[in-house]
Amino acid sequence: MDRVYNFAAGPACLPLEVLLKAQKELTSYGSSGMSVMEMSHRSKDFQEIIDNAEAVLQKIMHVPEDYRILFLQGGASTQFAMIPLNLMKEHKKAHFVNTGAWSKKAIAEAKRYGEANVVASSEDKTFSYIPDLSADMFTPDADYVHITGNNTIYGTRYTKLPETNGLPLVSDMSSYILSEPVNVSDYGLIYAGAQKNIGPAGVTVVIIRNDLIGSAMDITPAMLNYKTHTEKGSMFNTPPTFAIYVAGLVFEWIDKNGGIPAIHKVNEEKAKLLYDYLDGSKLFKPTAAKKDRSLMNVTFVTGDPDMDAKFVSEAAKQGLVTLKGHRSVGGMRASIYNAMPLEGVKKLVAFMKQFERENA
Ligand code: PMP
């Protein structure tokens, strides 16, 4: 069967070039005579794979010297607990901005270990916007500030970072890492599950500033202590070897294609195509506040759940799949991560126009 344009929120589409390279190397990697899946994580070949993945990620994100890159397991959801366990070192308190279901989960986990102070929320309008934030909200009696930089379910993102009065800023970058240039030194810690913009599910990238490592609470399990993993080069135990290998291929793909600034330009072009059409449409309405629109997850509705279902079903027949919105908000969501080609978005917009003509 031909490949479809897959607009899934994650796991999501991967660059075809990467899949083909992985396919080519699937049964025998290099001169090893075995698949990466069959290889000891202590082998020279795998050590090169993980070192290379780290080096290319460091290069494309311009990760400064005083940060460490980790390849961990447990998804972004494990970070919801790992971050408070490691970073609530002095005040046992953190500030949170509640911009949706993933923020809420981060807040709920942090509450097990200390105080999770919610400074602002956009729950009053179904998380369709990013609340206004001011420096005075971030009182110095906390250890860090946590934000969800892009809200996968609602299609919102921060277009400017909060002023945190010097408190380390932590961002859940699961659904926008590598999609736009970020200044890593603006953050104390960055984390992202891989299954959107990095690679296959199973690996979680953490980028952490050195001074935040080594002060975990006594109760912290070894596997949830950043120090355990920085000391062992992400190989305290068996890492998700194949996922790390594919992530490395994705980092190389970004590097080869002009790096994050070039990818970002295409991402802006893709998002503009969709939003411009949605803004002029009589049938579809975009749901996120214009100022806070995500470049990665574009959410929209017709206002009629039956019409939404018809659209999703007819789009699928055209090879435009997984456009159904998250079950908690309904409607539609087109996730247009780095690997979604411009061509896919053009085809989607053309289909939406046709659907509108036939159904408005
Ligand atoms: N944070 C965000 C912003 C997400 O979109 C998701 C998953 N879609 C998660 C966290 C949870 O990630 P995981 O499934 O890797 O735990």
What SS3 class is residue 132? Answer: coil
**pTM greater than the 0.95 cutoff:** yes
H helices then E strands: how many in the chain? 9, 14
Q: How far is residue 352's CA from residue 222's CA, in Å, rounded to a whole number? A: 50
What pLDDT is recorded for position 158? 98
User: Is the C-beta atom of 302 inside 6 A of ligand 1?
Assistant: no
The finding on whether 338 has its CB within 6 A of some atom of ligand 1 is: no
Domain with CATH 3.40.640.10 in the chain: 16-256
Give yes or no for residue 193 CB within 6 A of ligand 1.
yes
Q: Is 297 in the pocket of ligand 1 (CB under 6 A)?
A: no
Q: What does the chain come to in residues?
A: 360
Residue ranges, the chain, pLDDT below 70: none
Q: Is 102 a catalytic residue?
A: yes
CA of 28 from ligand 1 middle (Å) equals 32
Q: List the structure tokens of 332.
A: 């539609």
80, 171, 174, 203: residue to mutate for ligand 1 pocket, most atoms within 8 A of CB: 174
The two beta strands, 189-193 and 150-151, are unpaired
Q: Are 48 and 30 in contact, with CB atoms under 8 Å apart?
A: no
Catalytic residue among 104, 143, 172, 308: 172
Q: Is 196 among the catalytic positions?
A: yes
Quick check: CB of 228 below 6 Å from ligand 1?
Answer: no
**In the annotation, is 232 catalytic?**
no
Distance in Å, CA 316 to ligand 1 centroid: 25
Q: Under CATH, which architecture does the 16-256 domain have? A: 3-Layer(aba) Sandwich (3.40)
Q: According to DSSP H, which parts of the chain are helical?
A: 16-24, 44-61, 75-87, 101-110, 226-231, 241-256, 259-280, 305-317, 342-359
Tell me the C-alpha distance between 128 and 156, whole Å: 7
10 Å Cβ neighbour count for 323? 25
DSSP string, 266-320: HHHHHHHHHHHHHHH-SS-EE-S-GGGB-SSEEEEE-S-HHHHHHHHHHHHHTTE
DSSP class of 89: -
DSSP code string of 320-339? EE--BPPTTT-SEEEE--TT
Cα(324)–Cα(50) distance, integer angstroms = 35
Q: In the CATH scheme, what architecture does the domain 5-15+258-359 have?
A: Alpha-Beta Complex (3.90)
- Buried b / exposed e across 117-150, counting CB within 10 Å, b at 16+? bebbbbeeeebbbbbebeeebbeeebbbbbbbbb
CA of 339 to the centre of ligand 1 (A): 18
* Residues carrying CATH 3.90.1150.10, the chain: 5-15+258-359
Tell me, what amino acid is at 348?
Answer: L
- What is the model's pLDDT at position 360? 81
Give me the pLDDT at residue 151, please: 98
Q: Are the C-beta atoms of 17 and 29 separated by less than 8 Å?
A: no
Query: How far apart are the CA of 193 and the centre of ligand 1, in A?
Result: 6
Is the CB of 155 within 6 Å of ligand 1?
no
Say how far apart CA 108 and CA 122 lie, in whole Å: 17
pLDDT digits (tens, 9 = 90+) for 267-293: 999 999 999 999 999 999 999 999 999
- Structure confidence at residue 1 (pLDDT): 82
CA of 85 from ligand 1 middle (Å) equals 19
> Is residue 295 within 8 Å of residue 319, measured between CB atoms?
no
pLDDT for position 102 = 98
Q: Are 263 and 339 in contact (CB under 8 A)?
A: no
Task: Give yes or no for residue 175 CB within 6 A of ligand 1.
Answer: yes
Which of ligand 1's atoms lies nearest the C-alpha of 10? Answer: 8
Q: Which residues pair with residue 6 across a beta bridge? A: 321
